[in-house]
Structure 1
Amino acid sequence: MPSTQKVALVVGASRGIGRQVAIDLAKNNYAVVVSAKSTSNAQTTKPFPPDPNSQQSTINTVEREIREAGGQATAIAVDTRDFEDVKKLVDQTVKIYGHIDVIIYNSGAIWWASVENTPMKRFQLMQRINPEGLYGTIQAALPHFKNNGWKGRVIVVSPPIYSRFFRGKTAYAMGKVGMSVLTKGIAMDWEREGKKDMAMTSIWPASSIESAATGQMTNIDPDAVKDLRKPSIFSDAILAMIRAPVADVNGLLDTDEDFLRNHEGVSDFSKYSVVPGATTRRIMPQEFPDLTVAEQADEGRRTDSAKMRAAKL
Structure 2
Amino acid sequence: MAFDDVDFEGRTAFITGTSRGIGKAIALDLADRGANVVSTGKTVDGREDLPGTIVETTEEIRERGGSSIWCQLDVRDDASVRTAIDETVDAFGGIDFVVNNAGAIHMAGFEDTPPKRFDLLMDVNARGAYATTHAALPHLRESDHAHVVTFS
Please give the TM-score of this superposition, normalised by the length of structure 2. 0.88
Q: Secondary structure at the match of 1:110?
A: coil
Shift, 1:142, TM fit: 1.0
User: Counterpart of 1:75?
Assistant: 70
Q: In the aligned structure 1, how far is the partner of 2:130 from the partner of 2:78?
A: 9
Shift, 1:104, TM fit: 0.8
Q: In the aligned structure 2, how far is the partner of 1:59 from the partner of 1:37?
A: 8
Q: In the aligned structure 2, how far is the partner of 1:7 from the partner of 1:153?
A: 11
Q: Secondary structure at the match of 1:155?
A: strand
CA contact (8 A) 1:40 1:61 kept: no
CA contact (8 A) 2:12 2:37 kept: yes
Q: Secondary structure at the match of 1:132?
A: helix
Shift, 1:119, TM fit: 1.0
Does residue 17 of structure 1 match 2:22?
A: yes
Q: Secondary structure at the match of 1:35?
A: strand
User: Counterpart of 1:133?
Assistant: 128
The 5 Å alignment of 1:1-313 reads 5-40=10-45, 55-146=50-141, 148=142, 151-158=145-152
Gaps of 5+ in 1: 159-313
CA contact (8 A) 1:35 1:77 kept: yes
CA contact (8 A) 2:94 2:143 kept: no
Deviation >4 Å, runs of 4+: none
For 1:154, the aligned partner's letter is: V
Q: Secondary structure at the match of 1:116?
A: helix
Instruction: Give CA-to-partner distance per residue, 1:198-233, whole Å, 9 cap, x none.
Output: xxxxxxxxxxxxxxxxxxxxxxxxxxxxxxxxxxxx
Shift, 1:87, TM fit: 1.1
The CA RMSD over aligned residues, in Å, is 1.9
For 2:127, the aligned partner's letter is: E
- Give the structure, 1 or 2, with the largest relative contact order (CA under 8 Å, sep 6 or more): 2
Q: In the aligned structure 2, how far is the partner of 1:87 from the partner of 1:106?
A: 17
Shift, 1:149, TM fit: 5.1
For 1:59, the aligned partner's letter is: I
Gaps of 5+ in 2: 1-8
